[in-house]
Structure 1
């Protein structure tokens, strides 16, 4: 008799705890702290007066407006973005591309732009005319894999740069790590300075950033090589959030869906990139 009663009581208590736990987890989001690098133009940058600006800032401000969220935006080094998210310092991080490795530790919103990767190099340097320059290729295809193999031959003995904690760094390590020297940097802009100073042969990075830096270099830098997606590369640009935050994810996705449907994401992409890189409308 006691066994049955104890079991029933325990079952009821468990069910009650689960119900209460579910209620506790259903957070009513009113305010979020948002992390951003502030040094990755035109996605995000910091003006001479200390103002954060760029596509990411326009997107998150519009998301927060539509979602009636109070947003506190904080600039911080890129390689500390995910640790700060996981520790609770941030609720959202900007410019976050999903890949298999990141999906193990955080969740993502729907994408707000989709951008491939390419090389930023010295315009008068040995990598200025890499094979397949300007071609859109996926490394998940045989054609894309052959193109990467051709590029690898050209890169032998070169020095490449990439930012810490990026999918671009992982891609360079996986595909070229045995034939090139790899230098890592806190930010993409630091890599650019070393290319211009002749201390680096090239940088593998987001095509929008690379084209922006080339355009701002007065002819000293250029983009080279194919426009690559696939594999470990995180070319969907999303908002990163902690796992088990379904309410926040739904709020963010609702705002992004509405912004896609009414053309806001396309307009912001064209404003900052001069081309529409917004995701295809569902």
Structure 2
């Protein structure tokens, strides 16, 4: 009797193991979501082609991982819902923070970028406190700096993109002192800033610096370079929580790109400085 039970148990275990192996997905093709409107991370060229750092990274990742990648542009605020629903298998420019980790998972980072303010060069926020300093909102020094900035922006109007940690950070730290306006994309925030309908835009430093450089002196970066808190300053590939095998495949390819200097070269190409992960 005991022998029979043992044999039956072994057969059941073997069947479960086989079923698990059979159900494991063999990743050959992935659908990739990208905003296509957040230069120099990603943008849509006049000919309709997607370009930017994110595109260079994912194309290299897919080549090394031997994946066929179908890349689709879609508004940022619908990227995570589309990933969870299965429309995408991967999303680009995904920054992890505690709230997002409740819903999706993330690869290792491919660049690390702080956030800052973009303001009119002749406007009231052209010279915010702690200009150019690298600070964390989680340190005592950073908290003191945020208190100074809150006093400086009181009564003014700040803008950010929907479903971004930058907008959440503004609402969390300055929402009771300023008018906060939300937009579908960073480019739409920028349009209102350029038109004088906003006093400052809070965004990724790379985007902000790129727009300041292209403004012919009309815009400038102002205030500290901030990390910490709800801010998602690690730039990663977003995946579904249940797709651990895909995450491992992506991380292996990213590790190769990091170790041979490819991530550094791509960062220097698009940012003019190396913001690739170190260590």
Structure 2 Cα separation of the partners of residues 101 and 18 of structure 1: 35
Superposition deviation, residue 118 in structure 1: 0.1
Deviations 1:68-102 (A, max 9, x none): 10010000000000000001000000000000000
In the TM superposition, what is the alpha-carbon distance from 1:24 to its structure 2 partner? Answer: 3.9
CA distance in 1, matches of 2:239, 2:105: 5
Work out the CA distance in 2 between the residues paired with 1:54 and 1:219.
24
Shift of 1:26: 2.0
Partner of 2:147: 149
Q: Which runs of 5+ in 2 are unaligned?
A: none
Deviant stretches of 4+, over 4 Å: 7-18
Query: 1:10: how far off?
Result: 9.8
Which of 68, 73, 76 is the equivalent residue of 2:74? 76
Q: Give 1:99's aligned residue.
A: 97
After superposition, what is the alpha-carbon deviation per residue over 1:118-158, rounded to whole angstroms, capped at 9, x for unaligned? 00111110000000010000011000010011000011111
SS at match of 1:161: strand
Shift of 1:25: 4.1
Q: Distance in 2 between matches of 1:70 and 1:157?
A: 50
Deviation at 1:223, TM superposition (A): 0.5
Partner in structure 1 of residue 25 of structure 2: 27
Aligned-partner Cα distance in 2 for 1:10–1:100: 45
Match runs of 1:107-146 below 5 Å: 107-146=105-144
What's the secondary structure of 2:118's corresponding residue? strand
Query: Equivalent residue for 2:259?
Result: 261
Question: How far apart are 1:14 and its partner, in Å?
Answer: 6.9
Pair 10,268 (structure 1): closer, same or farther in 2 beyond 3 Å = same
Count matched residues.
278
Give the structure 2 partner of residue 228 of structure 1: 226
- Counterpart selection for 1:63 from 45, 57, 61: 61
Aligned to 1:186: 184
Of residues 159, 162, 170, the one that matches 1:161 is 159
Partner of residue 273 from structure 1, selected from 242, 249, 271? 271
TM-score normalised according to structure 1 size: 0.94
- Cα RMSD of the aligned pairs, angstroms, is 1.8
Distance 1:17 1:219, change over 3 A: farther
* Structure 2 partner of 1:237: 235
State the 1:16 CA deviation: 5.6
CA distance in structure 1 between the partners assigned to 2:154 and 2:130 by the alignment: 17
Q: Closer, same or farther in 2 for the Cα pair 1:52/1:128, shift >3 Å? A: same
Query: Deviation string for 1:146-195 (max 9, x for gaps)?
Result: 00110000111111110000000110111001011111100000000101
